[in-house]
Amino acid sequence: MSINAKRALVTGITGQDGSYLAEFLLDRGYEVHGLVRRSSTFGTQRIEHLYRDIHEMERPLVLHHGDMADGNGLARLIREIRPTEVYNLAAQSHVRVSFDQPAYTADVTAVGTLRLLEAIRDFQDAVGYQIRFYQASSSEMYGKVLETPQSESTPFYPRSPYGVAKLYAHWITINYRESYGIHGSCGILFNHESPRRGETFVTRKITRAAARIKLGLQKKLYLGNLDAKRDWGFAGDYVEAMWLMLQQDEPDDYVISTDETHSVREFSEKVFGRLGLNYSDFIEIDPRYFRPAEVELLLGNSQKARKKLAWQPRVSFDGLVDLMVDSDLALARKEQVLLAAGHETGLPNR
């Protein structure tokens, strides 16, 4: 394989961001390689449309089995693929779950990043060309915020095992940049959502439930803290920022956000309102969804990315609500048809 070809390895390609990034890179002529962990069921729904298209293309999307827990496997893949860019999106990414699985979260999200950096470092030493590396850092690292809005210079105060693991991955990327000249950039991304968002994250949980309630498929929605505030953007806009970071001559760290904040309550009100419903008639509080330590407020300051990368979000808060509600309403309609036809589970293969 030629070094001049644009060849990207994306860990976490089956996730929300991985699927949008794969689309984005394929559109720009990249050969895209994705790391997929083995599962007893199919986990590739979000990229199936891309994978189907490859038979009409010149094999630009290739999936490889691997796991962030397996350093030898990662090193072998780097040697085989010889990527020009690596996007590290793989993580145990659910904050609430990280309180139940702190050691697993640390292994995959923190040490997994170290394993990948080690593989890149060894490869670069042996072959002598530089791989550009993107680390998916998180606004969750700001936790109990020490400054509002949060920028690249705001001190970190993580509030969950996930936040702590992400902070390790963030600093080890900076350390490898400073110690070994790795071209590693960290995107400190604030929450970003889409119709492909996992259904246990709050925005998708709300849009999915509201659409089902509208069609009579569900009666109630159980949530935790409605007062938490987040800076929510659209995932499709945010993957462009990841790519822009790796096109810069010098690696650096950037906050990516909309610079607006809204509460979970406000998001719920908008979603139900758009369906002609009043959220307070359907939402009930379930203490199981509260966290041992909460991040109350996130609000980004993305001026650096806007100036240096010429990046800006295109989808507004209302636009995001519309996108997600429309998509989940269509999904609920399909579910309704399947149920009417006697399928007990509604949507077996969504």
Residues 96-155 within binding reach of ligand G4F (CB under 6 A): 96, 138-140
User: Residues 67, 252, 266, 269: which binds ligand NAP (CB under 6 A)?
Assistant: 67
Residue closer to ligand NAP (CB basis): 192 or 214: 192
User: Residues 101, 151, 225, 336: which binds ligand G4F (CB under 6 A)?
Assistant: 225
Residues 302-341 within binding reach of ligand G4F (CB under 6 A): none
Residue 326 has which token pair? Answer: 């429309």
Residue 138 appears among annotated catalytic residues: yes
CA distance 46 to 340: 26
Look-up of token digits 């697993």: 104
Residues 6+ apart with CB under 8 A from 267: 202, 203, 206, 232, 321
Residue 140 appears among annotated catalytic residues: yes
Angle at 263 between CA 260 and CA 266, to 5 degrees: 100
Q: Which residue has its beta carbon closest to ligand NAP?
A: 15
User: Residues 37, 64, 291, 306: which binds ligand NAP (CB under 6 A)?
Assistant: 37
Look-up of token digits 């999915």: 208
Residues 152-211 within binding reach of ligand NAP (CB under 6 A): 189, 191-192, 198
Angle at 48 between CA 92 and CA 197, to 5 degrees: 40
Question: What DSSP letter does each residue of 82-116 carry, written as one string?
Answer: --SEEEE--S---HHHHHHSHHHHIIIIIIHHHHH
Is residue 35 within the footprint of ligand NAP (CB under 6 A)?
yes
Residue 263 appears among annotated catalytic residues: no
Residue type, 66: G
Q: Which residues make up the interface to ligand G4F (CB under 6 A)?
A: 93, 95-96, 138-140, 190-191, 200-202, 205, 223-225, 228, 230, 264, 289, 291, 294-295, 298
Q: Which residues make up the interface to ligand NAP (CB under 6 A)?
A: 11-12, 14-18, 35, 37, 39, 43, 67-69, 89-93, 108, 136, 138, 189, 191-192, 198
Instruction: Give the residue numbers marked as catalytic.
Output: 138, 140, 162
